[in-house]
Amino acid sequence: MGKKKIAILTGGGDAPGLNAVIYTVVRACKSMMDCELIGYKFGYRGMYTNDFMKLDLDATTGILHKGGSMLYNSNKDNLFNYTVEENGKKVKKDVSDVAIENMKKEGVDVLIVLGGDGTLTSARDFARKGVNVIGVPKTIDNDLPATETTFGFDTAVNIVSDNLGRLHTTAESHHRVIVVEVMGRSAGWICLHAGIAGSADVILIPEIPYSIQGIVNKIKERDAAGRPFTIVAVTEGAIEKDGSAVIGKIVEDSPDSERFGGVAEQIASKIEPHVRNEVRACVLGHIQRGGDTSPADRILSARYGYKAAEMVRDGIFGSMVCLRDGKMDSITLEDVLGRGEMGETAKGGAKTVDPNGELVRVARSLGITFADE
């Protein structure tokens, strides 16, 4: 067997652990086979523009613990529906063949794609066009149904729970209510885990619609019990009963154009007239996926990276690494994403919190309310 040339890219939003996966893939592949590795910059855009860098032991030294991606990220570059300029006008075109030709010119044998459902949908579509693709699932939201846990989730939970603890002391000092907006989109995993770990008094997640009165009742209950301060943790995509998620803005050139944002401010403004406390809103934002990667995520990322290297060695393509029953395994991209037309969303939708699941019951037993009374 000749020398393999392996390319890696990181698509979609960044997540702590991407660098740890890259670090491990490089070392594991080098130990398993005669190979050369490159990394496309800015996800699929790098494939289209043929912008890449050499990945070897020296290039990846010291990145294991770092958040972000040494290859950079982009969540706007679907090469099957890519924005190009023709005759002075911007139009959408399928430019995937350009990327495939670039890979052929560079002699790339295998493409390892680190990304969420949108990035992996394109990976599946490249596999359909004959590219040897291996997917590695990535999201801090932990909402991908085909794998038990995604790297970046533990780091995000640690950051949010730490910040809830910091806000707890200032809320207690001033007898304030602080509403803390947490990432997660339409899945409440980060908010639920961090809310329990960070001693939130109210947890609001998309899977359990809330009422303003339910939040007010909890604040008054705590006040009457001699605890005149309250921490409310809310997922950015949480929904008020008979309402809808709060959209912060629309990003026209993004495949996923709706950006949640503003729910903490909205809740704060609605509850303040009904309580005697001053109410503040705090949006943690991108701080949740910045900084160093947690030790648990470094280990999980290394496991994902090692399995991807094994799949390269064993010729298991058109598939994604997954964590199943606590062990690393693989599943075909077709089974993860469905067998319909190119560009479809993930089959079965996101993995969401069970409103009657164990962790929700644990939270309720601790006196935490979901304001769903």
Angle made by CA atoms 332, 334, 338, in degrees to the nearest 5: 140
Please indicate whether residue 201 is annotated as part of the active site.
no
The torsion angle over the Cα atoms of residues 41, 44, 49 and 50, rounded to 10 degrees, is 60
Rounded (10°) CA dihedral 326, 328, 332, 336: 40
Tokens of 10: 């990181």
Catalytic residue among 14, 125, 141, 143, which?
141
Strand stretches in 144-217, DSSP E: 176-182, 202-204
For the chain, the distance separating the N- and C-terminal CA atoms, rounded to the nearest angstrom, is 64
Which of 180, 150, 194 has its CA nearest to residue 363?
Answer: 194
Count the neighbouring beta carbons within 10 Å of the beta carbon of residue 225.
8
d(CA 373, CA 215): 9
Report phi then psi at 206, rounded to 5.
-60, -30
User: Measured between alpha carbons, how far is 172 from 229 in angstroms, rounded to an integer?
Assistant: 5
Q: 136 near 112, Cβ under 8 Å?
A: yes
Distance CA 293, CA 273 (A): 40
List the one residue out of 251, 258, 230, 211 whose CA is nearest residue 171.
230
**Phi and psi at residue 346, in whole multiples of 5°?**
-60, 140
Residue type, 117: D
Alpha-carbon distance of 260 to 308, in angstroms, equals 33
Facing residues of 327 across strands? 324
Give the residue numbers annotated as catalytic, written as ranges.
141
